[in-house]
């Protein structure tokens, strides 16, 4: 029973989507209900899983079935499996997904246009995201990874704002470009990796766990760590790492590959923005931690300065652009770029603190960015205007909304007591320690990154000052009347998120106890393996 829990969690939305397909499209309420029930079932399943999860137990809830087994004669066997499982990296992210999806469903209650299509796409997206986090077979991962694109394309393109078509196509093309780079690495990897469990035959395996072990590489294959090929100045393994890194960095997104994000966020409807910021961005960091780093540790060590540098640039550039943004959603989008920079910096440090901080930051940003986009949506629902300068003195008119924004902004800028603080502190600890512990990063990276905190405080406080203080003023009379305080549905979405941000800020231990074993194992494995492999470059 226990071993099927994860598959249950994964496929419940897909089954629900299939059922919803056959419901009459005029009964729009039923689709909301079906989606809500699905999310509640997922929460129950997740709680069941959490109750039996052993934080020191490594991979759990593993389910393995044969999927594609092709005998290709002398060429060997091509083998892809349905292999899923959760560990200290994926469990927090899957939990985040389940929680955010529930809130997204509530937030989607106001959707009126083509309700059936919307909720079916949302359910498919739900399965795809959980599948991406749960898959341990590269082909399966890739399937779910690509499967997110189409629902997202339509969710932005059909239900989005004025420039939705442009934004959705841009989103699709950028992400597809990234996934093609990942595909090249995928092809090179599965051709080079042999599944040792079948003796006597060459089995080209997509299993991510096999790919981590240098012994499983076919000798003289292109990615064989003992005898890697040179392509130009670098060995093929270094190129493969770079391909994966760029592919996932587009998703993260990292400067200078981030330009799709502000457009997608600004044009997407509020619930879709929430999914995009809280969940989809995490797949970039997840991919680095799950695939790029463990499989190519020596390249990861070699390029750690580059990863950290790009992380720091993202932190500072994102913050500066956020400060210059006139649109509230754009400001939040750039703040996401800035915060995801911390994930890169934490991963690059390859210290236990840094990696724990990076994963913590992913969860924390998931919670806080969901809240920020919901709040931006609250304002937009009422006035259909997101330009910061068109508001002033909102604090008096909408006091509860003001309080909520205050919480979200402070949480996002990393004030102690909120989850963002814990995450960023650990990333800084890791980045500072890296120089002395493993000699990967110079301290200056961490020092420049602190600029991000200062700038973060600056753009949030400045936005607060402009929008909420001073005499009350809104552009247009109709807008002034429309400005009412939060309603019950909005409470039900924002309060749990605010509480979560606080809990993870005050009692970080439960979450850390999940992440920490993973972080230990991860940084150990990457460092030892990376140093033991011949550094040809």
Partner 1 sequence: MAQQWNNQLNDIAGSLSWFIPELILALFLLLLIALALFKTNRTVLLTCCMAGFILSGVGVMATGLSTQATLFGGMTRVDGLASYLKILIDLAGFITCLMSFEKPSTHRAEYFALLMAVVLGGHLLVASTHFLMIFLSLELISLSSYVLAGYSFTKAGSEGSLKYFLFGSVASAVMLYGFSFLYGITGTLDFSSQVFFDQLIAKDVPMVLFAALMVLAGFLYKIAAAPMHPWAPDVYEASPIPVMAFLSVAPKLAGLGVLLKFVLAMNLFGQSSADWQAIVCAVLLLTITIGNFSALRQQNPKRLMAYSSIAQSGFLLVGVAAFLPQGVHFMLFYASVYLIMNFAVFVYLDFFEKKSITSIAGFSGAGKNLTWPSIGLLVGLIALTGLPPTAGFTAKLFIFSALWQSYELSGRALLLWVVVIGLLNTVVSLFYYLRIPYFAFLKSGEPAEKQNNITFQNLLGFILVLLLLTLFFIPGILMGWINKINFVL
Cis (ω within 30 of 0) for the bond into 256? yes
Return the C-alpha torsion angle 415, 420, 421, 427, nearest 10. Answer: -140
Q: Which range, of 185-193, 265-273, 352-360, 473-481, touches partner 1 by CB under 8 A?
A: 185-193
For the CB of residue 139, give the shortest distance to partner 1 in the complex, in Å.
8
Burial class of residue 471 (count of CB atoms within 10 Å of its CB; 0-12, 13-18, 19+): exposed
Site residue total, partner 1 (CB under 8 A): 39
For the CB of residue 115, give the shortest distance to partner 1 in the complex, in Å.
13
Q: Which range, of 163-171, 321-329, 448-456, 486-494, touches partner 1 by CB under 8 A?
A: 163-171
The reply on whether position 170 binds partner 1 by CB under 8 A is: no
For the CB of residue 182, give the shortest distance to partner 1 in the complex, in Å.
10
**How many angstroms separate the CA atoms of 137 and 334, rounded?**
33
Q: Are residues 337 and 265 in contact, defined by beta-carbon separation less than 8 angstroms?
A: no
Q: DSSP state, 223?
A: T
Q: Which range, of 99-107, 147-155, 208-216, 494-502, touches partner 1 by CB under 8 A?
A: 147-155
The reply on whether position 176 binds partner 1 by CB under 8 A is: yes
The reply on whether position 75 binds partner 1 by CB under 8 A is: yes
Q: DSSP state, 395?
A: H
Which of 15, 43, 191, 495 is in the footprint of partner 1 by CB under 8 A? 191
**How many angstroms separate the CA atoms of 107 and 377, rounded?**
9
Which of 71, 381, 389, 524 is in the footprint of partner 1 by CB under 8 A? 71
The reply on whether position 135 binds partner 1 by CB under 8 A is: no
Distances (CA, A) of 113 to 27, 110, 268, 404, 474: 13, 9, 14, 29, 28
Q: Spell out the residues 6+ positions from residue 78 whose beta carbon is closer than 8 angstroms to its own.
A: 68, 69, 70, 72, 190, 204
Q: Are residues 272 and 261 in contact, defined by beta-carbon separation less than 8 angstroms?
A: no
Q: Which is nearer to partner 1, 37 or 68 (CB)?
A: 68
The reply on whether position 150 binds partner 1 by CB under 8 A is: yes
Tell me the β-bridge partners of 230.
235
Q: Which range, of 64-72, 94-102, 455-463, 482-490, touches partner 1 by CB under 8 A?
A: 64-72
The reply on whether position 18 binds partner 1 by CB under 8 A is: no
Strands 230-231 and 203-205: unpaired
Residues 91-120 that bind partner 1 (CB under 8 A): 114
Q: Which is nearer to partner 1, 89 or 295 (CB)?
A: 295
Binding residues for partner 1, rule: CB under 8 A, are: 67-75, 114, 142-143, 146-147, 149-150, 153-154, 157-158, 164-165, 168-169, 172-173, 176-177, 180, 183-184, 187-188, 190-191, 221-222, 229, 231
């Amino acid at each position: 029973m226990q071993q099927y829990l994860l598959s249950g969690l994964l496929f419940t939305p897909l089954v629900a989507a299939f059922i919803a397909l056959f419901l009459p499209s005029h009964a729009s309420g039923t689709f909301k209900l079906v989606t809500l029930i699905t999310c509640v079932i997922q929460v129950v399943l997740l709680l069941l899983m959490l109750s039996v999860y052993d934080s020191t137990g490594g991979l759990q809830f593993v389910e393995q079935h044969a999927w594609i087994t092709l005998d290709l004669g002398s060429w060997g066997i091509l083998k892809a499996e349905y292999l899923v499982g959760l560990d200290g990296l994926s469990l927090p992210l899957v939990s985040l997904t389940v929680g955010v999806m529930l809130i997204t469903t509530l937030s989607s209650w106001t959707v009126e246009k083509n309700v059936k299509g919307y909720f079916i796409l949302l359910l498919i997206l739900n399965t795809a995201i959980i599948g991406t986090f749960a898959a341990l077979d590269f082909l399966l991962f890739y399937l779910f990874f690509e499967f997110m694109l189409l629902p997202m394309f339509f969710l932005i393109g059909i239900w989005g704002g004025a420039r939705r078509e442009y934004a959705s196509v841009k989103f699709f093309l950028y992400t597809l470009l990234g996934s093609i780079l990942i595909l090249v690495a995928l092809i090179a990897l599965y051709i080079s990796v042999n599944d040792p469990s079948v003796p006597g035959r060459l089995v080209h395996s997509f299993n991510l766990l096999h790919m981590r072990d240098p012994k499983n590489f076919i000798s003289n294959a292109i990615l064989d760590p003992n005898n890697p090929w040179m392509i130009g100045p670098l060995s093929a393994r270094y190129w493969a790492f770079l391909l994966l890194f760029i592919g996932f960095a587009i998703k993260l997104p990292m400067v200078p590959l981030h330009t799709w994000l502000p457009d997608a966020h600004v044009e997407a409807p509020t619930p879709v923005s929430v999914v995009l910021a809280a969940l989809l961005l995490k797949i970039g960091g997840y991919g680095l931690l799950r695939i790029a780093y463990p499989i190519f540790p020596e390249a990861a060590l070699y390029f750690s300065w580059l990863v950290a540098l790009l992380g720091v640039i993202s932190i500072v550039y994102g913050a500066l652009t956020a400060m210059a943004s006139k649109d509230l959603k754009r400001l939040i989008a750039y703040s996401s770029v800035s915060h995801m920079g911390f994930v890169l910096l934490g991963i690059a440090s390859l210290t236990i603190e840094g990696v724990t901080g990076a994963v913590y930051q992913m969860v924390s940003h998931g919670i806080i960015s969901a809240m920020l986009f919901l709040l931006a949506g609250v304002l937009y629902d009422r006035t259909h205007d997101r330009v910061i300068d068109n508001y002033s003195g909102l604090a008096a008119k909408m006091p509860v909304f003001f309080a909520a924004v205050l919480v979200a902004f402070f949480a996002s800028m990393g004030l102690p007591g909120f989850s963002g603080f814990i995450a960023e502190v650990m990333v800084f600890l890791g980045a500072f320690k890296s120089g002395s512990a493993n000699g990967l990063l110079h301290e200056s990276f961490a020092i420049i990154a602190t600029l991000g905190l200062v700038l973060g405080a600056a753009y949030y406080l400045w936005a607060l000052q402009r929008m909420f203080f001073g005499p009350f003023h809104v552009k247009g009379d109709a807008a002034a009347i429309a400005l009412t305080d939060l309603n019950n549905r909005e409470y039900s979405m924002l309060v749990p998120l605010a509480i979560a941000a606080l809990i993870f800020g005050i009692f970080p231990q439960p979450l850390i106890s999940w992440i920490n074993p993973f972080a230990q194992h991860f940084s150990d494995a990457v460092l030892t393996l990376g140093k033991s492999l011949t550094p040809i470059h």
